[in-house]
Amino acid sequence: MSIDKQSDIAANLQIGPTSVGMVRIYVEGDGLELPLDFEPEEAEEIAEELMAAAEAAREMGAGGKGKGKGKGKR
């Protein structure tokens, strides 16, 4: 499955800190439980990638006429 392919699979997503100082992304759906733990710095990188993807999707949805804030990776 590619990242741009539609899917009928539904899942719940939870994100939060663990008791040992990690950031957990927890995916649960249809017999699947997937805890993914990241160092805080890794979680910040993932957050930056999510923000960039959201901006790109916003621009695609607007026909490429987004605000173009010019945010890049820090």
Burial class of residue 21 (count of CB atoms within 10 Å of its CB; 0-12, 13-18, 19+): exposed
| pLDDT of res. 62 | 85
Q: What would the two tokens of residue 65 be?
A: 């006429």
Q: Residue 18 contacts by C-beta under 8 Å, 6 or more apart in sequence?
A: 24, 37
pTM metric for this prediction: 0.73
Give pLDDT tens digits for 6-54: 888 899 999 999 999 999 999 999 999 999 999 999 999 999 999 999 9
What is the bridge-based pairing of β-strands 32-38 and 23-29? antiparallel
